[in-house]
């Protein structure tokens, strides 16, 4: 397997606080890699650094060997590294289908002027986006609610819509921000199955998560961070028996971790 994403020596300071300290790991093509850690471990900062939503203080992220750390988020997305958000981040006054169609932006062949004038290319784009959006909605089981206004959706559907938006950009690697947060057992199982199917579609998935049992079930490899530093990396089995990890989780007042 090929290394798709290399995180090397990534560090982020906010004033005197070191949120992420010298973290390095790699993500291989078509794997599901999870970053876990107790609350406040620096997961979400790390996530934003990888997605180019934050600039690192030092260190870098390489995607296919190219440095992407100082790029604007939309350029990173153009290169194929796309993030999802937690559920409230959607285009809330658009319908589900419109949300997914607009997210096809990167696939458009026509430019803004073309869309304004309604050129052939632009019309072909519109057509293609519609077809592709329907396919994505079908894939994620959202077809039945495609004309609902997004802000009226229940929680579970919002999460799926977030992933649908991510898929529409046609990413190489999809970064999922806590995809199982706030879900009950059944919902989590469904979401786990969905993430697996993403990989079957040929995607590489990096997820930042809290829910240990789900992560154990789904990941090929796991990176554990605590206090901004990487403390372990390995397969779920290796992580489960790692003394440092157990200590980190027991030491924190976190919820049951399923070890």
Partner 1 sequence: MTRVAKAASISAFLAVVFILVPVLIIATGRTDLYYTLTSVALLSIASAGVWLTFFIGRINIGQGAYALMGGYVSAILVVNYGVSFWLTLPLAGLFCAAASILIGYPILRLRGVYFAMVTLVLTEVARLLALALPITNGAKGMVSIPLPGALSIFGVTIIPNFAGMQSPRLAFYLLAVTMMVLCFAAMYRLVNSRIGKLCQSLQQNEELASSIGVNIAYLRVIAYAISSFFGGVAGAIFAAISQSIYPSSFTVTDSINFMLNCFFGGLGYVFGPMLGTLVLYFGWDLLFQTGKFQLLIYSTLMIVLMLFLPNGLLSLGDLLRKRGSNNG
Which residues make up the interface to partner 1 (CB under 8 A)? 51, 53, 72-74, 77-78, 82-85, 89-94, 98, 101-103, 105-106, 108, 112, 115-116, 118, 122, 125-126, 165-166, 168-169
In angstroms, what is the minimal distance from the CB of 71 to partner 1? 11
In angstroms, what is the minimal distance from the CB of 162 to partner 1? 9
In angstroms, what is the minimal distance from the CB of 121 to partner 1? 12
What is the rounded CA–CA span in Å between residue 166 and residue 143?
Answer: 17
Return the structure tokens found at 25: 């790991």
What would you measure as the largest C-alpha separation in the chain, in angstroms?
63
- Lookup result for tokens 């006054």: 93
Query: Which of residues 31 and 126 has its CB atom nearest to partner 1 in the complex?
Result: 126
Query: Which of residues 179 and 228 has its CB atom nearest to partner 1 in the complex?
Result: 179
DSSP percent split of the chain into helix, strand, coil, nearest 5: 40, 25, 30
Q: What angle do CA 79, 168, 74 make, to 5 degrees?
A: 35
173-177 and 204-209 beta bridge pairing? parallel
Query: Which of residues 107 and 244 has its CB atom nearest to partner 1 in the complex?
Result: 107
Query: Which of residues 23 and 90 has its CB atom nearest to partner 1 in the complex?
Result: 90
In angstroms, what is the minimal distance from the CB of 144 to partner 1? 23
Query: Which of residues 55 and 74 has its CB atom nearest to partner 1 in the complex?
Result: 74
Query: Which of residues 35 and 168 has its CB atom nearest to partner 1 in the complex?
Result: 168
In angstroms, what is the minimal distance from the CB of 78 to partner 1? 5
What is the rounded CA–CA span in Å between residue 115 and residue 108?
Answer: 10
In angstroms, what is the minimal distance from the CB of 171 to partner 1? 10
Phi, psi of 172, rounded to the nearest 5 degrees: -85, -45
Q: Give the helix ranges, DSSP H, for the chain.
A: 43-50, 73-79, 96-102, 112-117, 120-139, 155-168, 185-200, 212-218, 236-240, 243-251
């Amino acid at each position: 397997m090929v290394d798709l994403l290399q995180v090397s020596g990534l560090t982020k300071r906010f004033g005197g606080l070191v949120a992420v300290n010298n973290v390095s790991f790699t993500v291989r093509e078509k794997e599901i890699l999870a970053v876990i850690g107790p609350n406040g471990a620096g997961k979400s900062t790390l996530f934003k650094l990888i997605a180019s939503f934050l600039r690192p203080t030092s260190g870098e992220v390489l995607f296919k060997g190219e440095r992407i750390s100082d790029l604007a988020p939309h350029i990173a997305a153009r290169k194929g590294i796309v993030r999802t958000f937690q559920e409230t981040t959607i285009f809330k006054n658009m319908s589900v289908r419109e949300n997914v169609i607009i997210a096809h932006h990167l696939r458009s062949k026509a430019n803004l002027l073309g869309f304004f004038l309604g050129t052939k290319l632009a019309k072909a784009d519109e057509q293609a986006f519609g077809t592709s959006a329907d396919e994505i909605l079908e894939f994620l089981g959202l077809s039945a609610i495609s004309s609902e206004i997004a802000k009226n959706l229940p929680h579970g559907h919002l999460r799926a819509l977030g992933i649908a938006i991510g898929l529409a950009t046609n990413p190489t690697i999809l970064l999922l921000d806590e995809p199982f947060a706030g879900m009950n057992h059944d919902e989590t199982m469904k979401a786990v199955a969905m993430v697996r199917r993403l990989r079957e579609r040929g995607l590489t998935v990096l997820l930042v998560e809290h829910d240990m049992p789900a992560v154990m079930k789904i990941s090929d490899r796991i990176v554990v961070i605590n206090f901004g530093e990487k403390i372990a990396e390995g397969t779920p089995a290796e992580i489960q028996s790692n003394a440092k990890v157990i200590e980190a989780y027991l030491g924190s007042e976190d919820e049951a971790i399923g070890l």
